[in-house]
Amino acid sequence: MVSSVERAISFDFSEVVVVNPEICGTDVSAFSANLAGLLIKLGLSVSQRNWDTIGDVSGKSLGRCRNQSLKWLRAWALNSAGVLWITQGGQVSGPFKPYSGVCTGFFRALRSENPEKRLGTLDLSLNLDLHSELAATLVSEVFEGLFSTTERETRDYEFAEDECCLYVPRLVEDPALNSAMRALNEKPRPVMEKLLQEERPLKMELGEPGLLSTFQFVDDKQFQEPLGGDYVEMKVLCTGLNFVNVMAPLGQVPTPTLGCEVGGIITKVGPAVTKFKAGDTVAGMLQGSFGTHVRIRQTVIQHVPAHMTVEAAATVITAFSTAWIGLVSRARLRQGETALIHSGAGGVGQAAIQSCQYLGVEVYTTVGSVAKKDLLMERYRIPGDHIFNSRDGTFAQGVMRMTKRRGVDVVLNSLSGEFLRQSWHCLADFGRFIEIGKRDLLGNTGLDMQPFLRGVSYMGVNLEQFHPTSTAHMELSEALQDIFDLLSIKKLRELYPITIYTYSEVEQAFRALQSGKVPGKIVVRASPDDIVPVLPAANPSFTLDANATYLLAGGLGGIGRSIADMLQSHGARYLAFLSRSGDSKPEAQAFLKQLSRYGCTAKAYTCVISDRETVFQAIRQCSSELPPIKGLVQCSMVLKDGLFDNMSYDDWITCTGDDWITCTGAKIQGSWNLHEALPKHLDFFVMLSSISGIIRNPGQANYSAANVYEDGLAHFRRRQGLEATALDLGAVRDIGYLAESENAANMSHLQALQVSEADIHNLLEVVITRRRLGDDEIPAQVVNGLVTGDEMEEVIQRTHWARDVKFSILWKTSESSADAGVLAGLDAFTKAESLVAAAAIVEDHHFADCQSVGDALDSLVAVEMRAWMAKEFQTELSIFDILSSIPLSGLAMKIVQESNLLPDRLKQEVQENEASAEIK
């Protein structure tokens, strides 16, 4: 390592410190002496020191860095003009030492935290003779290019030597991998097929949210699992349609499934079912009832009465349950009371009217048309002066007039907005208001409080809350029993009219209900003649060995569980997990049980992945209990973020984990332990590395070092003829740490680097499949999540990392072109003028002095701000300058004073304006 000591008054330097390992051979001593001589010839004063904890130049020294040494390293890196760290890991052509990657990752992050410093790395080949003057000459050339202020100054910071030639890293696209990924990402298009297919249960879903024209049918995966004890399997004959089923596809309510009531014939019963048998015709309540077959709990189904059709029985489920629970269970409606039923001609409205008439309650109701009024007068004998218009506010006046200003005892409300408020004021003293609508509940609408002084009550009924695992589920079951008992003796009757559509006409059915012009109920009937859009069955592009075990280290986290589920879907029947907590956590136990329901034997072994002995012990136990291990996915991750300026020794060791005493790291020592403990010839050895090791993420020096180590280990194994691939993933947005973290909102800088769960699955599928087929074109290190071309141009404007020269091939144009140079010059002039204007504006506003800048920023934001200032204003401020207690105006003035864009005359003008403002 070469460290240059910064002068107090200049960015140029005349002193260089060559830091050697305390224990070094004659080759390193000779190399240092030769290098010192060359640096002296450059006119520099050179001194040499030993670092007593460096044992070699392979890069291990960073991982095993002790506390005092970490302080020295921090001082050298942050208090000097720059550092050139030299390793001898053979990165270009090997034989390879993976520890050299630790240095590379560490310095990438450090550069992002200190963009004004030149912090470089140089890796030498293992066959380079350090005794030779050539070795020292190569290093001297890199040193001069890195630190010189002449035309030879370089924009590269990472170098590697092989056969006396220097190399620099560049990221390039992999057309073959991208093509394979695109093929997997292409969504299959639905094909018009018969709805009813032998041995193929289908369920309906919406292809595009909000578009009723995109209904399609897909394979129902729940039928791959064993039937629950008190569940029955039913062939669907018809499905009732409710207004909430229209609101859900249009995104107006968060219900994820389609349909909630169903009628059909039982084809199979679970072992705990006592009331039903195969062949029974039943109707019941179920979220997700649109399909060819369903599974439903016996507590929410009833036999269809002999005098009713299955279509009629299916349509009463939701309507009567809502009305009965609302009016009888909640409102305790009694004979002689009065009730206002909104939308009386609809399904719930008719069910409520029938329930009220059965109880001996006087009914007032609203409708939206003359035809619906005639329906209620004819079918339910409701007087015309008890029926009001639901489309305007006159119903409230009518109710109060008919009740002689008393109001009604119960309101069953489905209206929203102002009509809800007017209905609320229609309650009599001690009245009960039952809300069954969704819009105001989801919108969290306010409610007038004054009526509560009269002892009224406000209650909501949402049938989704009565799901099979809820405490109120049996209340729903009892309500259904009461309803069907009354239907059987004709005290209640079917709703009228029933409009029937086929599954081929399901879009028309939804649109008819959406229009609000159809009275009664709509039901969708399944027919052998139905032709519907069906997504082709998913055929796995690869199948894993059912007689092999696949190991996931750290695989019980969000990403690990997702990958495990993917592996079992491709045929894995034995999965083993290495986890610090084993299967002790409830979520781990639930997941292992879920895998077992899929026919997969899954076991979790308690293991500290960074502890060599526990890893070997867990692997031995796994090998004795399960079939041979043939594949690994290393998912382990520990995050201890923090600026290197402030990073504690414990945080450094926790993530890198290469302290030979504590051995607590997940990625460095953990991955090496797996390399040593597992069988040599695996089908795949995949490590989930991170793009953080590539992009210079501030605050993650330890994490970056650990990830680049995994990249190096993948190359190391490949050169030994072993399987290995490191996947440098972008931020995973929908599962795992980012999705579950409360700090996700603070990671907006990763927005351009995000990948999805599907991306990970597809990448794993491509890598595993092609490597098993002997495809050597799959690289040992795959970076996923970076944009290119026009998108990269946009990212360059927003982030510091994208301007790193290692990404230059991904840029749309080269900054070295003439046009780019002209634009850069014009841009600099514009920035200089606007900087003065900005300072003047700040001085004219008193609010700029109200608080300190540091109060509004955390350290990571300050790092990003410092990088932005360096780019936009060519000013080099420290983190402490930004986080100090000076007001915003003071920071602006400091930027003006330090900026290299401003000529002296403008700086003088700003200072004079500031002095004048102070006098005033």
Q: What is the pLDDT of residues 286-333, one digit of tens each?
A: 999 999 999 999 999 999 999 999 999 999 999 999 999 999 999 999
823-851: average pLDDT: 35
75-104: average pLDDT: 80
Quote the pLDDT of residue 868. 66
Position 157 pLDDT exceeds 80 = yes
**What beta strand segments (E) does 607-648 contain?**
629-634
Residues 6+ apart with CB under 8 A from 716: 94, 96, 97, 98, 724
What are the structure tokens assigned to 538, written together? 């998913």
Domains of the chain: 2-167 (3.40.50.11460), 192-303+497-534 (3.90.180.10), 320-462 (3.40.50.720), 549-733+755-785 (3.40.50.720), 818-919 (no CATH)
626-649: average pLDDT: 77
Q: What percent of the chain has pLDDT over 90?
A: 42
Quote the pLDDT of residue 68. 56
Position 176 pLDDT exceeds 90 = no
Q: Which of 399-408, 625-634, 811-820, 846-855 has the lowest mean pLDDT?
A: 811-820
Q: How far apart are CA 153 and CA 783, in angstroms?
A: 29
Q: Which amino acid does the sequence have at 434?
A: I
Q: DSSP letter string over 346-377?
A: BHHHHHHHHHHHHHT-EEEEEESSHHHHHHHH
Quote the pLDDT of residue 838. 32
Quote the pLDDT of residue 853. 53
Quote the pLDDT of residue 582. 87
Q: How many CB atoms lie within 10 A of CB 640?
A: 17
577-600: average pLDDT: 90
Position 133 pLDDT exceeds 70 = yes
474-488: average pLDDT: 97
Please, what's the largest Cα pairwise distance for the chain? 111
Would residue 774 be called left, alpha or beta, if left means φ above 0 and alpha means ψ between -120 and 50 degrees?
left
Residues 6+ apart with CB under 8 A from 33: none
Quote the pLDDT of residue 869. 73
The owner of tokens 């300026």 is 645
Quote the pLDDT of residue 731. 82
Quote the pLDDT of residue 752. 55
Arithmetic mean of pLDDT over the chain: 81
More confidently predicted of 121 and 651? 121
More confidently predicted of 55 and 628? 628
| Local confidence band at 368 (pLDDT 50, 70, 90 cut-offs) | very high
Contact 101, 109 (CB under 8 A): no
410-418: average pLDDT: 94
Position 61 pLDDT exceeds 60 = no
Sheet with strand 191-194: strands edge to edge:
191-194, 531-534, 215-219, 202-206
| Local confidence band at 832 (pLDDT 50, 70, 90 cut-offs) | very low
Closest CA to 518 of 538, 503, 539, 496: 496
Quote the pLDDT of residue 842. 35
Cis peptide before 95 (omega within 30 of 0): yes
Quote the pLDDT of residue 661. 30
880-884: average pLDDT: 68
Q: How far apart are CA 302 and CA 261, in angstroms?
A: 12
- What is the 8-class DSSP label of residue 575? E
6-14: average pLDDT: 49
Q: Which of 4-18, 153-167, 203-217 has the lowest mean pLDDT?
A: 4-18
- What is the 8-class DSSP label of residue 230? T
Position 261 pLDDT exceeds 50 = yes
449-458: average pLDDT: 96
Closest CA to 670 of 612, 726, 610, 724: 610
- Where do runs of H (alpha helix) occur along 360-438? 370-380, 394-402, 418-424
CA angle 894, 896, 901 (to 5 degrees): 135
Closest CA to 236 of 204, 265, 268, 196: 265
